[in-house]
Amino acid sequence: MDPVTTNNYVGNSTTPDYYNYYEPLIPMCQADDYKTTTGICYAIIFFISILGNGFLIGALTCYEDLKRATNLFMFCLALFDLVFTLTLPFWSTEFLHHWVFGDVACKIMTGAYFVGIYGSLILLTAMTLDRFVVVVVRSYWLTRSRRLKCAKGACIGAWIISLIACLRDSVSAKVQNIHIENYSCQSISTTDETFGYYAQLILLFFVPFAVIVFCYAKILMTFMSTSTKQKSRTVILVLCIVVAFFICWGPYHIIVVLMSIYDFDACKHYELHIAFIVCRILAFSHCCINPALYIVRGKYRKLLCSLLFCSPDLRHSRSYRGPTDPSDFREHSCANETGNCGAIQTNATEI
């Protein structure tokens, strides 16, 4: 943020002209942007996310069955996180030095930034709806093959919608000279574009949030009303992933809205300025969260240890395979039975 400056004239009409001069610009308010701290945090987040999401994609590809809906969702979610992660070195360089990559890179990185955010949220909404149908609706029509087709459609739709949604921000992004030899990649917003931003924020953040809250409220009510003791690890995993997303990105969006409402100035609203910096770092760290939540599962802790310590158990990759999605248990067991599947399991085991 540029400080508020003023020109002070020194001297009077009785002094010689060469004594009449303007003092240098005096900063009346120096709001620290913590650019170095932010840039270093982005660099750390980049390396952690690359390692974590790389491991997650490798584990899902080599040791899981991507023909299962939940695994496919997690795979695409990791791809969106990687797209977002690849923009971090550019933002880190901007904070530590200034933007040196030109207008084209500015537009591409801005687009990739929003693709990562919107794509992740759309997929989280689709995963929640999938859990809702499996747990609450309990329809036997939604077989494993149909769930997979719906999951593929959701993944393709997430890419298409996020690419379309990022166009406005990508096109308006350009390099601005904010100070002498100090360039920044910024989106130039007009009044119409500001309205478009709020419409986009409502449609691609608050509406999915409302859908997710409704679905998980019904899921929890279903759990409380049934007597089944089966643990639904997949539901808990998806819930943790959704909660982590809104914990990371929710405060950031709230702060951005408040900054626009209060006609934000870093000097007048210094506490809001600091809150924005902290919430922005928290939001960007979200790309590291999903791999961490997935590794928490016992099977992936064992796999990670095998990778780190080159354990010979890694050669037996089949030991890691299996239906990790409890909603696939019924279909997995039915494949090995010659009788009527519907008579073997109850709806409660579809969780």
What tens digit of pLDDT does each residue of 46-103 get?
999 999 899 889 888 887 788 888 889 999 999 999 999 999 999 999 999 889 998 9
Residue range 140-196, pLDDT digits in tens: 777 888 889 999 999 999 999 999 989 988 988 888 887 766 788 887 765 555 666
Question: How far apart (Å, rounded) are the C-alpha atoms in residues 92 and 80?
Answer: 19
Residue spans of the domains in the chain: they are 34-303
Average pLDDT, whole number, for the chain? 75
Q: What is the pLDDT of residue 186?
A: 84
Q: What is the pLDDT of residue 28?
A: 52
Exposure string for 129-144, b = 16+ CB within 10 A, e = fewer: bbbbbbbeeeeeebeb
DSSP annotation of 206 reads I
CATH topology of domain 34-303: Rhopdopsin 7-helix transmembrane proteins (1.20.1070)
| Of residues 294 and 330, more confidently modeled | 294
Mean pLDDT (whole number) for 284-305: 75
pTM as predicted:
0.76
Mean pLDDT (whole number) for 324-337: 46
Question: How far apart (Å, rounded) are the C-alpha atoms in residues 65 and 332?
Answer: 12
Mean pLDDT (whole number) for 21-40: 65
Mean pLDDT (whole number) for 33-58: 91
| Of residues 310 and 18, more confidently modeled | 310
Does 331 score more than 60 pLDDT? Answer: no
